[in-house]
Amino acid sequence: MAVLLAARLAFANLDGALARDTGRTTRRGALLNELGDRAADLVMLAGFLPLAPLWLVATAALAATLPSWVSLAGAAAGAGRLNGGPVGKTERCALVIVAAATGWWTPVLVAIAAGSALTAVTRCARLWRELGAEQRELGVR
């Protein structure tokens, strides 16, 4: 399982980097990338369903999508597409590998839920500052 998760992460990062490096990015590709990443996160976390309470898996799955929602909302508002934070895609995948290796299902799901929520909040704060600075430069209140 750990090998599959590592491969998923490598390929998820490789396709976008390759497209950017070769100047072959498209808006459709960006759409497919975002949809594929969210689906992969949800499928990965669905693997916990036989191992942990439904409410905890659902909470972690919903929280895992929050950072992307915030980043995409910021991009739609004219800010740059944010990545990074305490628990982004790479960290979620690493945490699932830890759970697979140790059997620590519950602590990992709690870490994914809390860390993803914190990541969403930090991205939202960055976007709020960035968009506010743009407004001040334009003289808009």
What domains lie within the chain, and their CATH numbers? 2-138 (1.20.120.1760)
Residue 32 is predicted with a pLDDT of: 85
Whether 88 and 76 have beta carbons less than 8 Å apart is answered as no
* Helices 54-76/27-46 angle, 10° precision: 160
Joined together, the tokens standing for residue 126 give 């960055």
Instruction: Name the band, by pLDDT with cuts 50, 70 and 90, for residue 21.
Output: confident
Is pLDDT of 47 > 70?
yes
Lowest mean pLDDT, pick from 19-23, 75-79, 125-129, 136-140: 136-140
Greater model confidence, 47 or 136: 47
Is pLDDT of 6 > 70?
no
Is pLDDT of 4 > 80?
no
H-assigned helices in the chain: 2-21, 27-46, 54-76, 89-102, 105-138
Give the separation between CA 5 and CA 76, rounded to whole angstroms. Answer: 30
Give the separation between CA 137 and CA 27, rounded to whole angstroms. Answer: 29
Residue 30 is predicted with a pLDDT of: 82
Is pLDDT of 7 > 80?
no
